[in-house]
Structure 1
């Protein structure tokens, strides 16, 4: 059945609420029908690089660390995306985090709407579709977003229902932050900088969890869970619940990044493209949906503290080389990127000194 009736549905309550109020829905509401990009889907067996992080563990032989740094550097230069194994995060903690996120989205609509906000800079936000409150074609996604590290700024705002959510999320985000800093140290070395250069450039740092919920869709070929976009931070670490949906844009072709148990997918954000003066690129990615299963993904972004003015790292600007990006306060860049209804890399392109 169609949801069109004399009483229009309140899409702001989320896609899950929509299908619960119209359980026999066979057609996608027209507000969700998108003009999908023409970029083809890869028909070959191309896969994003897989990197073993055991070489970054303290005490590893120097040659093992050097090999891992080189692998990360190559993946950053050629892909901007890679999968990691031997990352050190226990499987049970990953499972518990997914359980708590699923429990949150299983709460009543009224309970979830306690965290609804139109402010893209809100420290905690429940919403649906794109992050922007501006008018746009809708996407088949509900989300919970909140800040993580440094925890003193936001922990008290996190959901207290489910009752275990706060403690599980804090432990998970603490370990993910530490993992991100290990990878960022290797990226810094790969750029020829001191190992601590990029981490120091973050100041106190910032961390954002985006928990995404993609219910089964009646016509998945007509919409997306999330439009093509790049992330605004330095590094995003993503896990999924076993249901595929992530696709990465590589050489103008969409490459599926299927779920692999025990691994995370890592991607570079706009901050690292800016800091490296374009030597490394943030990469567009998107989420497709399916008609059978709910997909849950947890993307944790890591960037500088919001007051930081971001720009290319001076040690990477060779004599006579042009600075590719204008400086901007990171909080202003987040607002610019999150407020746009035009995804892709439009926010980053707006900072380029040459267009």
Structure 2
């Protein structure tokens, strides 16, 4: 990616602003109470979990968006997948395109993604958590045929597959814990949503945002809402994620928190929560980050 092709250029009203409003007040939730070794009949631990449930419920209803720390995902697994992703994206384009996704193979490498008919300034690598992932072959409810989604893995770096699979297992555990907390916040049993995700289509996306020669014209990812249940987002220290504030419609920058995950509540669970999904975008000047679960790790170069 070099000169800015017209396909990348956002309409004036959607271009990044020269002044950045940094987000304040976005909930930062400590998940320690659900990751500590439980003590039988501990009143203090029960109260801590009750407080956590209240925090989660409030964050979902008022923001649709929050950050979590002490989440239980090992830092070394996150570091390994980011390192391997950097190696993959540093390869020549022809190497990456050997595992390019298309209409029949829906996971793999892709560098021409569009959001709202404008091309995103990024390249991605997608893989599904469950392999194979079985999905209906059509939207016809009478059609019982299924299609398999099979991952494509590059020859290099050779460690990418292993670190991706290990990371996926850890982040999926986190997503299930969060769904349990959301259920409790609604006054439902903790496992209330589990059956809906028995046959789910969770996937992980590694995003690479190359330097943009005209970052005021393009976006890494245009404005959008997430269609899954949860998005578990890992930012690097550069950042770039922006959230549309519900009160006034302003785009505000989410400051990266070391080793935290940003959780975006997707459209799938908007109905039980009865809230509006949060709209997000990624500027083209900042990040690396890898459907119960859509998890995204973003890297900037």
Compute the TM-score of the two structures, normalised by the length of structure 2: 0.81
Identify the residue that residue 317 of structure 1 maps to in structure 2.
none
Give the number of equivalent residue pairs.
Answer: 269
Q: Which has the higher contact order (CA 8 A, sep 6+)?
A: 2
Identify the residue that residue 288 of structure 2 maps to in structure 1.
296
Identify the residue that residue 69 of structure 1 maps to in structure 2.
53
Identify the residue that residue 175 of structure 1 maps to in structure 2.
170
Identify the residue that residue 252 of structure 2 maps to in structure 1.
255
* Counterparts of residues 205-220 of structure 1 (less than 5 Å): 205-220=200-215
1:163 pairs with 2:158:
yes
Alignment counterpart, residue 105 of structure 2, candidates 122, 137, 150: 122
Compute the TM-score of the two structures, normalised by the length of structure 1: 0.70
Task: Give SS of 1:228's match.
Answer: strand
1:90 pairs with 2:74:
yes
Alignment counterpart, residue 223 of structure 1, candidates 193, 218, 225: 218
**2:224 touches 2:280 (CA, 8 Å); kept in 1?**
yes
> C-alpha deviations, 1:36-87, integer Å up to 9, x for none?
4469877465241100001223527111111001100000000011010101
- Cα 1:169–1:242, aligned 2, differ >3 Å: closer, same or farther? same
**1:227 touches 1:287 (CA, 8 Å); kept in 2?**
yes
Aligned equivalents of 1:70, 1:204: Cα separation in 2:
29
Deviation of the 1:125 alpha carbon: 2.8
Deviation of the 1:220 alpha carbon: 0.5
Identify the residue that residue 265 of structure 2 maps to in structure 1.
268
Moved over 4 A (4+): 38-42, 152-156
Aligned equivalents of 2:197, 2:220: Cα separation in 1:
30
Task: Give SS of 1:126's match.
Answer: strand
- Cα 1:77–1:156, aligned 2, differ >3 Å: closer, same or farther? closer
Aligned equivalents of 2:12, 2:126: Cα separation in 1:
25
Identify the residue that residue 51 of structure 1 maps to in structure 2.
29
Q: Give the gaps of 5 or more residues in structure 2.
A: 40-44, 134-148, 295-301
Higher normalized strand content (fraction of residues):
2
What CA RMSD, in Å, does the superposition of the two structures yield over aligned residues? 2.5
**1:51 touches 1:85 (CA, 8 Å); kept in 2?**
yes
Deviation of the 1:155 alpha carbon: 6.6
Aligned equivalents of 1:38, 1:233: Cα separation in 2:
24
Q: Give the gaps of 5 or more residues in structure 1.
A: 1-17, 20-24, 305-355
